[in-house]
Homo-oligomer: A and B are copies of this chain.
Amino acid sequence: MSRTQDMRKGATIQEVAQEANVSKSTVSLVLQGSDLIRSETAARVLEAARKLGYVYNRGAADLRRKGSRTIGVLINDLMNPFFAELLVGLERRLVDADYSVLMAHTGESLERQDKVLLTMREHNAAGIALCPVPGTSAALAKTLDAWGVPLVVIVRPIGPGNYDFAGYDAAQGLRLSTHHLIAAGHRRIAFLGGRPGPVYEQRLRGYQDALREGGIAFSRDLVFESGPTRREAFEQMRKVLDARPEIRAAVCYNDVVAFGALAALVERGLRAGADFALVGFDNVLYSAHSNPPLSTIDVRPEALGRHAAELLIARIENPGAPRQEFIAMPEFVQRQSG
């Protein structure tokens, strides 16, 4: 490849102009695909650019234009396949619309969230997609509001503020899973996993609604919290099985919790679906192949990511438009765990 010689690092529009015997305005226009330029000239410019190994400098263009096509994406828990799948849908839609994605994993750290949010502002992000860390204060909504950068919040609202929102009807989801177990004849149904917070309350409410509708009294001592990891859910479920052997059915906070519970069932020699009925929430890919396959509530994680992206893009293109929400309606998926 002797052409490598010509590819001096960092040719600029100016050098391309020289090579093609035109001004840099012309080169800029050609690069933007303007039809103001004669096609013959355009061809000459393009050839010169190729020859010099020219690479467009988005930073410079963004500075001049005072805009950018990068979107900041913050994910709070990538270890949870729900968010990984959501991110796939979000990123795909954004890239298809010609945006670049500045991604940050906040773990569950509020500090990290604040830090990367600032960085994204410094990068002049055209918009932000935020899966907030649990415990994010409502003050953040105000701050982001003041910044005036288009924002879509995902799954977990962060209090009043001027942002779009993409999520699902969690109450309805848990209503469905609870109803399913009631219809299957269960009357003592546990609510398993999760930690108190806005999202949690919603789900708990759906559970309570279904119980009421089924004529079953709600009882605090059937709700068991746990962190959002398989391990924590596993340990919690273990305790439940040991201390409360009369419980034979549970709706779960999410699929990851259900997987942990499944593992505890196995350890105790119990068969999910036969000895104990378990229903998840999310319908992550894996739930179709767990052992046994998990009955769950489908909220279509990947599609949710796509919808969030669409909300954000719409907002960027039309900042003055009224606030929008996308709320996915969950569906029950019958498999074998319950």
Contact = CB atoms under 8 A, between A and B. Distances in A.
Contacts of A231: 288-289
Interface string A250-292: 0000000001101100100000000000000000011011111
A115 B98 CA distance: 10
A59 B62 contact: yes
Given A91-B103, A259-B286, A59 B63 contact: yes
A1 B81 CA distance: 39
Interface in A106-121: 107, 112, 115-116, 118-121
A81 B286 CA distance: 10
B68 A78 contact: no
B79 A122 contact: no
Identify the interface centre among A1, A120, A286, A289: most chain B CB within 10 Å of its CB.
A289
A183 interface: no
A230 B58 CA distance: 40
Contacts of A43: none
Contacts of A236: none
Contacts of A36: none
Given A88-B105, A105-B87, A292-B266, A122 B57 contact: yes
A28 interface: no
A102 interface: yes
Interface of A: 1, 4, 7, 9-10, 53, 55-60, 62-63, 66, 68, 70, 73, 78-79, 81, 84-85, 87-88, 91-92, 95, 100-105, 107, 112, 115-116, 118-124, 142, 146, 148, 230-231, 234, 259-260, 262-263, 266, 285-286, 288-293
11 contacts: A1-B142, A55-B121, A70-B123, A73-B103, A78-B87, A79-B81, A81-B84, A91-B104, A100-B102, A102-B103, A262-B291
